[in-house]
């Protein structure tokens, strides 16, 4: 039996074929700007806002401004992951402990996606990270005895990231690579804000989380 030299699966008949095994494409939403990886999406729609996806085509970049945008994204993701891991370990609420543990896993998946997308290797987050550090950065008062305070800090951190990337994008030259990057990163953080807000409302209502 003849097999494909790429994926080693059997080839039926003698018809010409195209092997798409392990092929992953990058797509950009024309509405929200979010980048998604995958071979195909239902109806070619953005999984976040349902806008129309188009294949992302971008020239390789190595200039300092583009690297600054990517480094800022990683700094925010690493800080968020460290916060969620600490919040999970410190929370006295069993549901919140599990929820923030899932947020930490979500951030790890996002970091791995960014690492793959931009070919960057990163160290693991520090184990001695303190939540007070995030509270100060987010501009939210730390209230150790208030479980909802963890949500407020998390949402404020993500909103701060949206604001930062949006402002950097607006201040970048029109049509530049760095502007494109900042808009993509702002869209990623908006998704996080929406997810956290939804999870907070469900938690307050006593409903199970969506994650």
Domain locations along the chain: 1-57, 64-204
Strand partners, 25: 38
pLDDT along the chain (211 residues), means of 10: 72 64 78 84 85 79 76 82 83 84 86 78 63 58 68 86 90 86 88 90 82 64
pLDDT tens digits along 32-54: 888 888 888 888 888 888 899 98
CA–CA distance, 156 with 27 (Å, rounded to integer): 28
pTM above 0.85, yes or no: no
Q: What is the CATH number of domain 1-57?
A: 2.20.28
Consecutive H or E run containing 81: helix 64-90
Q: Give the tens place of pLDDT for each residue, 175-198.
A: 888 888 888 889 888 988 998 899
CATH second-level architecture of 64-204? Up-down Bundle (1.20)
- Token pair of 151 as six digits: 């949500």
Q: How far is CA 203 from CA 96, 151, 165, in A?
A: 8, 10, 29
């Amino acid at each position: 039996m003849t097999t494909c030299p790429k994926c080693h699966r059997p080839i039926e008949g003698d018809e010409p074929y195209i092997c798409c095994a392990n092929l992953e494409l990058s797509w950009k939403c024309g509405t929200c700007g979010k980048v998604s990886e995958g071979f195909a999406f239902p109806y070619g729609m953005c999984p976040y806002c349902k806008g129309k996806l188009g294949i992302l085509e971008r020239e390789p970049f190595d200039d300092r401004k583009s690297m600054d945008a990517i480094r800022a994204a990683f700094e925010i993701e690493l800080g968020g992951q460290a916060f969620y891991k600490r919040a999970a370990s410190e929370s006295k609420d069993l549901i919140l402990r599990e929820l923030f543990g899932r947020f930490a896993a979500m951030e790890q998946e996002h970091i791995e996606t960014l690492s793959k997308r931009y070919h960057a290797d990163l160290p693991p987050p520090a184990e001695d990270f303190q939540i007070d550090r995030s509270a100060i950065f987010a501009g939210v008062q730390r209230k150790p005895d208030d479980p909802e305070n963890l949500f407020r800090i998390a949402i404020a951190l993500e909103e701060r990231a949206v604001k930062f990337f949006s402002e950097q994008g607006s201040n970048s030259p029109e049509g530049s690579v760095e502007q494109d990057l900042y808009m993509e990163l702002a869209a990623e953080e908006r998704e996080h804000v929406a997810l956290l807000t939804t999870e907070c409302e469900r938690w307050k209502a006593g409903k199970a989380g969506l994650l």
